[in-house]
Amino acid sequence: MTRIETGSCFCGSISAEMHGDPFWICSDHDDDCRKAIGSPLTVWVGYRPTQFRLLTGAPKKFSRTRGVLRTFCADCGTSIAYFDQGLPEELYLTIGFFDHPERFAPQAHAYWDMKLPWVEFRDDLPRVGRYSRRRDPAVGNPADR
């Protein structure tokens, strides 16, 4: 039986299903995501775009960084997803969008070099200075904005 996870925004106007297992789960410490999410870090859950099915609503789209498109609920502000042209077969959903975030333990830390100095972790997960995934260098690196 295929795993199905659900997610929704805070006000409930946007909901989605994710089919199958995520391929990557990562704590992200970069300042771009920090600004967009409004938190010291976020956990991104990676799925293939074909695994994601929007059930209700239409997320608003926003881009400030070349090659990066973020979606969120225009009514309540919940961050939903992150699309990166440098990772065309990958879609990242923020942990706060999931109805059961406890099911998604991170596998690594990305942008460790940008971690806020007062945030501490006692795990032994890999700590990667930049992206934790191989992305197309032709798109550039969002950290170099």
Ranges under pLDDT 70 in the chain? 129, 131-145
Per the structure block, which two tokens stand in for 6? 């659900």
In a domain, 141, yes or no: no
The CATH number for 96's domain is 2.170.150.70
Share of the chain above pLDDT 70, in %: 88
Instruction: Please state the pTM of the whole predicted model.
Output: 0.89
**Greatest pairwise CA separation for the chain in angstroms:** 43
The answer to whether 5 and 100 are in contact (CB under 8 A) is yes
Rounded alpha-carbon distances, angstroms, from residue 33 to 39, 43, 110:
8, 10, 11
Digit-coded pLDDT (tens) for 114-135: 999 999 999 999 888 676 656 6
In a domain, 22, yes or no: yes
Q: Which domain holds residue 96?
A: 4-129
